[in-house]
Structure 1
């Protein structure tokens, strides 16, 4: 890892009060971490800066600063199919829809940020003290974090799942900690040297700073996110007709680290309050003892996904008028029929068994993981299936599905839903 860039002499002039407390909380964007990771070994760099700096130098001089699949395959020494998969998955998790128009080539800086986070490891579930006794024939190694889950979905729910699966606040804190640790390296890849000042003096342009919107966002609970450049004191209210003056990278690093520290403190306080039984207005987890359909409620923040958790032996219906969120998570539902009849951007189905789940049109991506004997019916742009058993998928998809990990006895609908007959095998990765 590279060392943090030293603070420039001009920092105080550009930001007269760098120690001022942030007024808006910083949050990690969940989509790259939840839908963007690919279990391709050659993308998991031991030193991302050393691996990605040559890629930046090679394509930075290009007039368009875009990288197509052939160039990416050559630069990273990966197959053309994997290169296409990288660009396709990146397009599904970009922070702006404009970047999703053409998945044949990617913006260089977006691609670098996306490749960097492939080294991210998800927060592991807490082990059950009697996991050996509960284990059955479900030795599924997670395709994304290397965690061996010895329990089937039904066994997880029987041993009080909520005690062992990380909450949304836990996951956000884990993502913030990852960004805190790697931010200096990430900024070094986005920054440019100042001519005549030596390579040790790096600056970040407003354009480069806005690419950080791929990983972070600002916004308060229940409100729309704040544009990244408007949240930063050094770029706010810039004249649109005149390029903003580049800012020393060290100043950006200090300001972002301060915001991350404040956000981590905020999340930690809420976790502590929840553990002590105090009322908490965010990241409320649905208790397993109260999981009838009438008790399943959305999280208060429109930034967070809508949760449907613990539905058992019931039918559950949500329509577009019932949802304010563009993302839905269906977790630990068993022996039920669930209808989400609403347009969505993202959807996740995790740890369900013996259920039929119908998802409305999903514009970005659907992820189905650790499910058993589940029927999923969906129209979606992209679908990822990981570590599932005896499941049936009826898919109307624009892109061939990604099937990864330890899967057994899966059935997928007729191949005519794919662009070509063999599409289901193109993006199959078995670990």
Structure 2
């Protein structure tokens, strides 16, 4: 069964229909939406017009809408003797509702159709907005647990039924021979989102910290795998990318920073084996502390490497971390400006300017005093 106008028109033109309006449904409608004097009703997605005709017998003046011409052709032919019904070709999701009455409706019905509506909350909110004061929106739908498996595409499960009631201050559910009948009043309540169970993991999220100093040098470390790397790691549960980008350098280098000095530059995506990786590139513009080597089992001595363009780490990263450099360049192009920010070096405690610790431990436990960090070898991320 299709979802286009042409498919639905063919469905009805071929003589097919949905479940007939039952006595329990009629009783509940009459009980919970009795027509006031001059009552007006809107039957959305009316199909062949059975419910619209019933509303007319209750005393309502009815607007019956459907987007399938095949359905409306049958409705006009099969309900030709019913008075007080206006048949309108209208898609409640997409079309301009200008043909509907501006002064609203006392009851709006949506039967056997909500399962096929893509944006249900928005549509119900729109229908609710057309209710007059003390008006009622009635939604009738099959329920998954009471529907044969091969027809469950026309039904809603319990979570989906709960979501239909969001946005209405009053919501009552009734059963009508296995059909759920929702009686909704007083639109304007809050909405809530609901996920079905725990979602399956789609990717591994991490943060890469680009730590620079006022001279434009970038903090890089040569890993024991002989790779030049920026500090970074996985974003933990409940943690922001900025928080991870502050935490990882503190753990790997001993430098402390604050989240307000961490600025997202770009988001990178790549695949490693069968794992999708999402890396948020974050620039750290202020930090304090002494550069150390808390994890000698992972890194050789760390240091600030000078870029060919002082104040702009892009040249250095293009040579040794091209993935991060591409992400920064893409961020600048999208924003229309360079993503680099002013760098501030905070003073360490005691008021004296902190200097990098030029003594770093090797992975084998030895000690080296390297003086200045020499030039990095050329290559796309791997040491020569």
TM-score of the superposed pair, with normalisation by structure 1: 0.19
Higher helix share: 1
Structure ranking higher on relative contact order (CA contacts 8 Å, 6+ apart)? 1
Q: State which structure, 1 or 2, has the greater radius of gyration over its C-alpha atoms.
A: 2
TM-score of the superposed pair, with normalisation by structure 2: 0.20
